[in-house]
Chains A and B, each alone.
Chain A
Amino acid sequence: MLENDHIKRLLSAIALYNDQVAYKELFVLLHSRLKQFAYSILKSGEEAEELVSDVFIGIWQKKDRLTSIESPRLYFYTTVKNLACNRLNKQKRQVNGSPEEWLVQMNSIYFNPEELMITEEMMRQIKKAVNELPPRCRLIFKLIKEDGLKYREVAELLQLSVKTVEAQMAIGLRRIARCMHFEVKGSPLPQLSLKK
């Protein structure tokens, strides 16, 4: 989990003491998440890497302002999103950088099979189900389950309502449950309202 308080402490060490150790720790902590998020928009590993570096250059150059960041987690993701969308616009590579067009890769869902009564086949099914979620749903799922953002933060980042985030999470969860044959019984599952 990405703790806001932890990031805040690192940011204030950087702001107040030019703490290079804290700077490095912050970089290592956020790098792969931010890079993956940048990648989902830019669809280029090289550009994503450069973009994360740009974000951190900004952090070092704007040290004085770091302590006033309310939610650093959201700040980093928003910065990545804005820089990435600007980049796309400049390159005129895409008309819009809407989340529907982002390429979201889940690292995979992790299990501890010993805790669970699931088979290999089920695991495969679950992974498949996750990767077949519609892009926006997969993105929300990833941001919350892998990156540790809160519903409220995801809503703000993607400019959605919290209700939409809730609904998307429910859809993702239900699809996974279906793979595991955990369909809730009693009434037939309503058809999922997902566009193919």
Chain B
Amino acid sequence: MSQEKFWILLAKKLSGETSADELHELENLIHEHPEWQFAVQNIGGVLKNHPLKDEIHAEDAYMLHLHRMAEMNIPFNDEHTEEPVFVASNRKAKWYWAAAAVLIVALGFFAFNELSGNKNPNGQLAAEINEISTRQGSKSKVQLPDGTVVWLNSGSKLTYDKEYGQKLREVILIGEGYFDVVKMKDKPFIIHTSAINIKVLGTVFNVKAYPEDKRTETSLLRGSIEVTIKNRPNDKIILVPSEKLVIENSRVIEKEEPKTTIPTPSAEPSINTLVAINKLKYGSSDSSVAETQWIDNKLVFRDESFAELAVKMQRWYGVEIEIKDTKIGQKRLNGIFENETVIQALDALKEFISFRYKQTGNKIIINR
């Protein structure tokens, strides 16, 4: 009888199922039968839990699984986004294997101070604000306390307070940032911009939220993110890899008059669209997307008007550009600037659009 009990209790112990009473009972049994001790010590090593690992096979099986789902017409990528009625539907979902995550959001105003820790004069009791900013024409890479890495594009500002990382990880972004967020499932990472809030658990994405831009852009390459628009806090938009969310700022931010120095003709016909979700376009030669190439020091423009490009060039080179001729501003362009100076860039553009420019100090005026 005691033997039967012994094996039952030992099996339970080795499976992590024993209660305190049972452990005590087992100890007593072993104490009464010291000759059993040897078996107890050795059999434990044989029966340790060894979960089988077959990840390579599982990854292959996962690909087949997704393939099977696609064949059965079971939506994987875009199912959830059908709900918000105001989402423009231009959604041909496809699963991109090479997906990485990029998110772009556009925000309020410019800050010209550089990397300045903003110490609160009232002492330590007040929440300490950390502020990182970049000037026009310069970029910066910073690491946040949790290891999250942020690249800040020209003329952008990122702030977070002392509470960062305690319960939430909250930051405020003005301008453009590329975020590589460390995965912490219990501490969501939240980005506030003037038009939207973005909530993520851990992923990589790019946010473009410049105040003078008409749109806030959020591009996602990997993982998923949840976006709420400021004036519609109850509607959640969930982005999946390879998607770009574009928001018309003027519909969201009230009484905000974007002071554009350049006439920017409406590029897309979807004038009444508050929110649109588009697919990211991958470069043919590599897996990069235009939205994130700035972190590699490339100014990429794909089917953009000269006027839109000029706004980017202003930030990129830290100059002021004025296009006097509307028709020239409407010309559409594709290209990449990498090491060119602003003058070299303009000279290159002249090959495609005929215009003249005049530089006075920091200001460039473009004419027919």
Closest chain A residue to B14, Cβ basis: A173
User: Chain B residues in contact with chain A, CB under 8 A?
Assistant: 3-4, 6-8, 10-12, 14-15, 17, 33, 35-36, 38-39, 42-43, 45-52, 54-55, 57-59, 61-62, 64-65, 68-69, 72, 74, 76, 79-80, 185, 201, 203, 222-226, 238, 240-241
B39 touches A177 (CB 8 A): yes
Bound together, the chains give a CA A146 to CA B72 distance in angstroms of 33
- Contact partner, A32, options B58, B225, B240, Cβ 8 Å: B58
Q: Which residues of B contact A148 (CB under 8 A)?
A: 49, 51
A31 at the B interface (CB under 8 A) = yes
Residue from B11, B57, B224 in contact with A20 in the complex, judged by beta carbons closer than 8 Å? B224
Chain A residues with CB under 8 A of B42 = 116-118, 180, 182
Nearest-neighbour CB distance to chain A for B292, whole angstroms, equals 18
Residue in B3, B11, B49, B201 whose CB lies within 8 Å of A17: B201
CA distance A167 to B36 in the complex (A): 19
Q: A145-B49, A166-B8, A190-B4 are in contact. List 12 more A-B contacts (CB 8 A).
A: A17-B225, A18-B238, A18-B240, A28-B62, A52-B61, A53-B68, A57-B72, A145-B47, A170-B10, A174-B7, A177-B7, A186-B33
| Nearest chain A residue, comparing its CB with the CB of B2 | A187
Q: 19 interchain pairs (CB within 8 A)?
A: A9-B185, A20-B223, A28-B62, A31-B61, A33-B51, A53-B68, A53-B69, A107-B52, A110-B50, A117-B42, A147-B51, A166-B11, A170-B11, A171-B7, A173-B43, A176-B43, A177-B7, A180-B39, A184-B35
* B74 contact set on A, CB distance < 8 A: 57, 60-61
Question: Which A136-151 residues have C-beta < 8 A from chain B?
Answer: 144-148, 150-151
Q: Check if A100 is an interface residue, CB within 8 A of chain B.
A: no
* Per-position 1/0 for A153-173, Cβ under 8 A of B: 000000000000011011111
Question: Is A112 located at the chain interface by the 8 A CB criterion?
Answer: yes
Q: Tell which of B35, B76, B201 touches A185, judged by Cβ atoms closer than 8 Å.
A: B35
Residues of B within 8 Å of A32, CB to CB, are: 52, 54, 57-58
Q: How far is the CB of B174 from chain A (nearest CB, A)?
A: 26
A18 is contacted by which of B12, B47, B80 (Cβ under 8 Å)?
B80
- Give CA–CA (A148, B17) in the complex, Å: 11
CA distance A190 to B5 in the complex (A): 13
Say whether A33 contacts B222, CB under 8 Å. Answer: no
Contact yes or no, B11 A172, CB < 8 A:
yes
Task: Determine if A1 is an interface residue (Cβ-Cβ < 8 Å).
Answer: yes
Which residue numbers of A lie inside 8 Å of B, CB to CB?
1-2, 9, 13, 17-21, 24, 27-29, 31-33, 35, 49-50, 52-53, 56-57, 60-61, 107, 109-112, 115-118, 126, 144-148, 150-151, 166-167, 169-174, 176-177, 180, 182-187, 189-190
Give CA–CA (A182, B43) in the complex, Å: 8
Taking A27-B58, A173-B43 as contacts, is the C-beta distance between A151 and B223 under 8 angstroms?
no
| A19 proximity list for chain B (CB < 8 A) | 201, 223-224
8 closest Cβ pairs, A-B complex = A182-B39, A170-B7, A169-B11, A31-B58, A110-B50, A28-B58, A170-B8, A32-B54
Inter-chain CA distance A55–B188, complex, in Å, is 29
**B43 contacts which chain A residues (CB < 8 A)?**
173, 176-177, 180, 182
Cα of A73 to Cα of B259 in the assembled complex, Å: 57
Identify the interface centre among A24, A126, A150, A172: most chain B CB within 10 Å of its CB. Answer: A24
Question: Chain B residues near A184 (CB, 8 Å)?
Answer: 3, 6, 33, 35-36, 39
